[in-house]
Protein backbone atom coordinates (compact mmCIF):
# COMPACT_ATOMS: atom_id res chain seq x y z
CA UNK A 1 0.00 0.00 0.00
CA UNK A 2 1.08 3.57 -0.73
CA UNK A 3 -0.18 7.00 0.24
CA UNK A 4 -0.85 9.95 -2.00
CA UNK A 5 -1.74 13.46 -0.91
CA UNK A 6 -4.36 15.96 -2.04
CA UNK A 7 -3.42 19.54 -1.26
CA UNK A 8 -6.21 22.14 -1.25
CA UNK A 9 -4.95 25.70 -1.14
CA UNK A 10 -5.96 29.33 -1.26
CA UNK A 11 -3.07 31.68 -2.03
CA UNK A 12 -4.93 34.97 -1.74
CA UNK A 13 -3.90 36.08 -5.24
CA UNK A 14 -6.29 38.31 -7.17
CA UNK A 15 -7.33 35.37 -9.37
CA UNK A 16 -7.90 33.09 -6.37
CA UNK A 17 -9.98 35.78 -4.64
CA UNK A 18 -12.14 36.15 -7.76
CA UNK A 19 -12.61 32.37 -7.90
CA UNK A 20 -13.51 32.36 -4.20
CA UNK A 21 -16.16 35.04 -4.75
CA UNK A 22 -17.78 33.04 -7.55
CA UNK A 23 -17.60 29.60 -5.93
CA UNK A 24 -18.06 30.70 -2.29
CA UNK A 25 -15.54 27.95 -1.43
CA UNK A 26 -12.72 28.02 1.08
CA UNK A 27 -10.11 26.65 -1.35
CA UNK A 28 -9.40 27.67 -4.93
CA UNK A 29 -6.61 25.30 -6.01
CA UNK A 30 -5.84 21.60 -5.72
CA UNK A 31 -2.65 19.65 -6.28
CA UNK A 32 -1.72 15.99 -6.01
CA UNK A 33 1.49 14.72 -4.40
CA UNK A 34 3.08 11.31 -4.62
CA UNK A 35 5.09 11.69 -1.42
CA UNK A 36 4.58 12.90 2.15
CA UNK A 37 7.23 15.61 1.79
CA UNK A 38 5.27 17.08 -1.15
CA UNK A 39 8.41 17.07 -3.29
CA UNK A 40 6.46 15.35 -6.07
CA UNK A 41 3.47 17.73 -6.09
CA UNK A 42 1.72 18.45 -9.39
CA UNK A 43 -1.14 20.47 -10.79
CA UNK A 44 -2.16 22.86 -13.54
CA UNK A 45 -1.61 26.46 -12.58
CA UNK A 46 0.63 29.46 -13.11
CA UNK A 47 3.90 28.75 -14.88
CA UNK A 48 5.32 31.99 -13.51
CA UNK A 49 4.50 33.14 -9.95
CA UNK A 50 4.29 36.73 -11.18
CA UNK A 51 2.00 36.11 -14.18
CA UNK A 52 -1.47 34.65 -13.57
CA UNK A 53 -2.35 34.59 -17.28
CA UNK A 54 0.11 31.94 -18.46
CA UNK A 55 -0.65 28.52 -17.05
CA UNK A 56 0.01 24.87 -17.67
CA UNK A 57 1.33 21.72 -16.04
CA UNK A 58 3.37 22.61 -12.96
CA UNK A 59 5.64 20.71 -10.60
CA UNK A 60 4.87 22.61 -7.41
CA UNK A 61 6.84 23.00 -4.22
CA UNK A 62 6.21 24.73 -0.90
CA UNK A 63 9.63 26.40 -1.05
CA UNK A 64 9.65 27.84 -4.58
CA UNK A 65 7.38 29.27 -7.23
CA UNK A 66 3.88 30.46 -6.44
CA UNK A 67 3.78 28.97 -2.93
CA UNK A 68 7.06 30.67 -1.99
CA UNK A 69 5.79 34.00 -3.33
CA UNK A 70 2.45 33.71 -1.53
CA UNK A 71 3.78 32.62 1.84
CA UNK A 72 0.43 32.95 3.64
CA UNK A 73 -1.21 30.29 1.47
CA UNK A 74 -3.81 28.40 3.50
CA UNK A 75 -4.01 24.63 3.03
CA UNK A 76 -5.79 21.45 3.90
CA UNK A 77 -3.79 18.32 3.16
CA UNK A 78 -5.46 14.94 2.85
CA UNK A 79 -3.80 11.53 2.64
CA UNK A 80 -5.33 8.69 0.69
CA UNK A 81 -4.14 5.10 0.86
CA UNK A 82 -4.06 3.27 -2.47
CA UNK A 83 -2.67 -0.05 -3.67
CA UNK A 84 0.67 -0.38 -5.43
CA UNK A 85 -0.93 -0.96 -8.84
CA UNK A 86 -2.99 2.26 -8.57
CA UNK A 87 0.10 4.16 -7.40
CA UNK A 88 2.17 2.93 -10.33
CA UNK A 89 -0.59 3.87 -12.81
CA UNK A 90 -0.92 7.31 -11.23
CA UNK A 91 2.81 7.92 -11.35
CA UNK A 92 2.94 6.76 -14.99
CA UNK A 93 0.09 9.06 -16.05
CA UNK A 94 1.65 12.06 -14.29
CA UNK A 95 5.06 11.28 -15.81
CA UNK A 96 3.49 11.06 -19.28
CA UNK A 97 1.83 14.47 -18.82
CA UNK A 98 5.13 15.85 -17.49
CA UNK A 99 6.99 14.57 -20.58
CA UNK A 100 4.33 15.93 -22.95
CA UNK A 101 3.54 19.11 -21.02
CA UNK A 102 3.98 21.26 -24.13
CA UNK A 103 0.95 19.49 -25.63
CA UNK A 104 -1.27 20.36 -22.66
CA UNK A 105 -2.73 23.80 -22.08
CA UNK A 106 -4.35 25.56 -19.14
CA UNK A 107 -8.16 25.47 -19.45
CA UNK A 108 -8.92 29.07 -18.47
CA UNK A 109 -12.33 28.95 -20.18
CA UNK A 110 -13.22 25.81 -18.21
CA UNK A 111 -12.07 27.47 -15.00
CA UNK A 112 -14.32 30.47 -15.63
CA UNK A 113 -17.24 28.20 -16.58
CA UNK A 114 -17.05 26.39 -13.22
CA UNK A 115 -18.04 29.65 -11.53
CA UNK A 116 -21.28 29.40 -13.48
CA UNK A 117 -21.71 25.68 -12.75
CA UNK A 118 -20.93 24.80 -16.38
CA UNK A 119 -18.38 22.44 -17.85
CA UNK A 120 -16.29 23.45 -20.84
CA UNK A 121 -13.64 20.84 -21.56
CA UNK A 122 -11.23 21.06 -24.43
CA UNK A 123 -8.88 18.31 -25.48
CA UNK A 124 -5.53 18.20 -23.70
CA UNK A 125 -6.29 21.16 -21.46
CA UNK A 126 -6.98 21.24 -17.74
CA UNK A 127 -7.44 23.57 -14.83
CA UNK A 128 -6.20 22.25 -11.46
CA UNK A 129 -9.26 20.29 -10.36
CA UNK A 130 -9.79 18.77 -13.82
CA UNK A 131 -6.20 17.54 -13.81
CA UNK A 132 -6.42 15.93 -10.37
CA UNK A 133 -9.76 14.34 -11.24
CA UNK A 134 -8.35 13.06 -14.55
CA UNK A 135 -5.30 11.37 -13.01
CA UNK A 136 -7.35 9.85 -10.15
CA UNK A 137 -9.92 8.43 -12.58
CA UNK A 138 -7.37 7.16 -15.13
CA UNK A 139 -5.52 5.42 -12.27
CA UNK A 140 -8.77 3.77 -11.18
CA UNK A 141 -8.51 5.30 -7.72
CA UNK A 142 -11.77 7.29 -7.75
CA UNK A 143 -14.58 7.31 -10.30
CA UNK A 144 -17.42 9.21 -8.64
CA UNK A 145 -16.23 12.82 -8.64
CA UNK A 146 -18.63 15.50 -9.96
CA UNK A 147 -18.56 16.26 -13.67
CA UNK A 148 -18.08 19.99 -13.02
CA UNK A 149 -15.23 19.71 -10.54
CA UNK A 150 -13.91 22.29 -8.04
CA UNK A 151 -11.08 21.98 -5.52
CA UNK A 152 -13.60 21.79 -2.64
CA UNK A 153 -15.05 18.58 -4.11
CA UNK A 154 -11.90 16.71 -3.09
CA UNK A 155 -12.79 17.24 0.60
CA UNK A 156 -15.59 14.70 0.19
CA UNK A 157 -13.50 11.78 -1.05
CA UNK A 158 -14.25 8.68 0.96
CA UNK A 159 -11.25 7.39 2.94
CA UNK A 160 -9.32 10.65 2.53
CA UNK A 161 -7.86 11.64 5.89
CA UNK A 162 -7.27 15.27 6.79
CA UNK A 163 -3.68 15.33 8.09
CA UNK A 164 -2.92 19.06 8.09
CA UNK A 165 -4.71 22.41 8.26
CA UNK A 166 -2.98 25.76 8.29
CA UNK A 167 -0.40 27.77 6.40
CA UNK A 168 1.20 25.59 3.75
CA UNK A 169 4.65 26.87 4.70
CA UNK A 170 4.13 25.41 8.21
CA UNK A 171 3.59 21.87 6.89
CA UNK A 172 7.27 20.90 7.23
CA UNK A 173 7.33 22.16 10.85
CA UNK A 174 4.22 20.09 11.52
CA UNK A 175 5.92 16.97 10.10
CA UNK A 176 9.07 17.53 12.17
CA UNK A 177 7.00 17.97 15.36
CA UNK A 178 5.03 14.82 14.52
CA UNK A 179 8.24 12.82 14.03
CA UNK A 180 9.64 14.10 17.33
CA UNK A 181 6.44 13.07 19.13
CA UNK A 182 6.60 9.62 17.53
CA UNK A 183 10.24 9.20 18.61
CA UNK A 184 9.32 10.25 22.16
CA UNK A 185 6.44 7.74 22.29
CA UNK A 186 8.69 4.98 20.91
CA UNK A 187 11.47 5.75 23.42
CA UNK A 188 8.95 5.61 26.27
CA UNK A 189 7.72 2.24 25.03
CA UNK A 190 11.31 0.98 24.94
CA UNK A 191 11.81 2.04 28.57
CA UNK A 192 8.64 0.30 29.71
CATH number for position 69: 3.90.1720.10
d(CA 117, CA 139): 26
Beta strands in 40-186 (DSSP E): 41-48, 51-60, 74-82, 105-106, 125-126, 161-167
- Tell whether the model's pLDDT for residue 15 goes beyond 80: no
- Render pLDDT for 166-178 as a digit per residue (tens, 0 to 9): 999 999 877 666 6
Lowest mean pLDDT among 3-7, 49-53, 63-67, 145-149: 49-53
Using a pLDDT cut of 90, give the percent of the chain over it.
65
Identify the CA nearest to 87 among candidates 34, 50, 16, 150: 34
How many C-beta atoms surround the C-beta of residue 162 within 10 A? 12
Which range of residues forms the domain containing residue 82? 2-191
Do residues 32 and 38 lie in contact, with contact meaning Cβ atoms separated by under 8 Å? no
Position 179 scores a pLDDT of: 57
Identify the CA nearest to 46 among candidates 4, 16, 72: 16
d(CA 94, CA 43): 10
Q: How many helices (H) and strands (E) does the chain have?
A: 6, 8
Position 86 scores a pLDDT of: 98
Position 178 scores a pLDDT of: 60
- Render pLDDT for 101-149 as a digit per residue (tens, 0 to 9): 999 999 988 887 887 778 888 788 999 999 999 999 999 999 899 999 9
Q: Provide mean pLDDT across the span 151-170.
A: 94
User: In a 3-state reduction of DSSP, which class is residue 155?
Assistant: helix
Beta strands in 61-146 (DSSP E): 74-82, 105-106, 125-126
Query: What's the structural domain count of the chain?
Result: 1
Q: How confident is the model at residue 81 (pLDDT cuts 50, 70, 90)?
A: very high
Amino acid sequence: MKKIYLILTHTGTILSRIIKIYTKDEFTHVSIALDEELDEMYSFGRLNPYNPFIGGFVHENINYGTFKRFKYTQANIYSLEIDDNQYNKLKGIINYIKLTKNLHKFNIIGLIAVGFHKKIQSNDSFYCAEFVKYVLEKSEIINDLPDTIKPEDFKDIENANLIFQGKLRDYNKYKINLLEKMKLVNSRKAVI
